[in-house]
Chains A and B, each alone.
Chain A
Amino acid sequence: MYRLSIFLLLFGIWIIFSGLFDAFHTTLGLISAAFVTLISSEFFFADRSAGVGARIQQIIRLPIYLLWMLYQILLSNIHILKLALSPGDLEEVEPSLIRVKTNLKTDFGKWMLANSITLTPGTITIDIEGDELLIHSISKATSAGVEDDSMERKIAAIFERENS
């Protein structure tokens, strides 16, 4: 079941790549997608305890979060622009390292959280050990923002709904 859905996904990507729909190239696409599925399908969806249906539900819930993330990326770029173009000797820059605990269980949720922290204004995830994140923050205002756990709850609502 997982293999079939991976095959369909890869074939969809092939169609975007290819742009030619004659029989010869479509056959090549089918062969290629099947070949990649054969040799490396275990790389997608490492944790297969949940069914395909649950996975699809998770994917459906994802876009809203991604849109919110896009807005955050815009904010972080404006933040960088403002800092970079501020005159004088960069009054606002006050770097510090912070350790934060997270309640997320799954690896994928942690990955999502770490990348989201990297993309939101003023913070970068340096390291992740167990459930502890080491974060570098660029100014005092953003250090305060790290303690806020709204992002974590958003991710938990997507990937770990049954736990909460």
Chain B
Amino acid sequence: MIVDTICIVLVSLGLLFFVGGAVGVIRFPDFYTRMHAAGKGDTMSVFLVLVGLAVYQLGDFSLGNALVAGKILFITVFIMWASPTSTHALIRAGLEEGQKVWTRDDKKEESEK
């Protein structure tokens, strides 16, 4: 019962952060800021959801379940390890490609047109 509650709380928090990332990807003005939302909005939410699922898996304790929980944690580690790197690679590619950094002035120009 306690395990279920912990799992529900963690997964719901993770979903909340997913919402943050998704809304950020849509709303932010330029490529770099969208990259912020895409790269960071995912790490913590993935961590929370997968840890929640691992806790649920451990609730019914046996060796097999513990190993499956270990594998879920391994996925978590993998994503949190790979995510900053792919963020970095993509944003660097954006810089090389010549994306412009958005500033307040751009916004004013847009509204004047």
A-side residues, CB < 8 A to B, are 13, 15-17, 19, 70, 73-74, 76-77, 80-81, 83-85, 89-90, 93-97, 114-115, 118-119, 121-122, 124-127, 136, 138
Contact = CB atoms under 8 A, between A and B. Distances in A.
Contact of B27 (A76, A90, A136): A90
A73 B20 contact: no
Interface in B56-102: 64, 67-68, 70-71, 74, 80, 84-85, 87-88, 91-92, 95, 101-102
A125 B28 CA distance: 19
B9 interface: no
Contacts, number: 105
B43 A119 contact: yes
B39 A124 contact: yes
A14 B13 CA distance: 32
14 contacts: A19-B68, A73-B40, A77-B40, A80-B40, A80-B41, A90-B29, A93-B29, A94-B104, A121-B40, A124-B87, A124-B91, A126-B91, A136-B101, A138-B36
Given A85-B23, A90-B29, A16 B16 contact: no
A115 B20 contact: no
Nearest to A122: B36
A104 B35 CA distance: 26
B36 A80 contact: yes
B12 interface: no
Contact of A95 (B19, B30, B47, B74): B30
B104 A124 contact: no
Nearest to A116: B84
Contacts of B101: 95-97, 136
A12 to B, nearest CB: 10
Contacts of B35: 124, 136
Given A73-B47, A80-B41, A81-B20, A93 B87 contact: no
Given A19-B67, A90-B27, A95-B30, A77 B43 contact: yes
Nearest to A81: B20
Nearest to B16: A81
The winner among A19, A70, A76, A118 for most chain B CB atoms within 10 A is: A118
Nearest to B22: A84
A114 to B, nearest CB: 7
Contacts of B19: 81
A115 B84 contact: yes
A136 B91 CA distance: 9
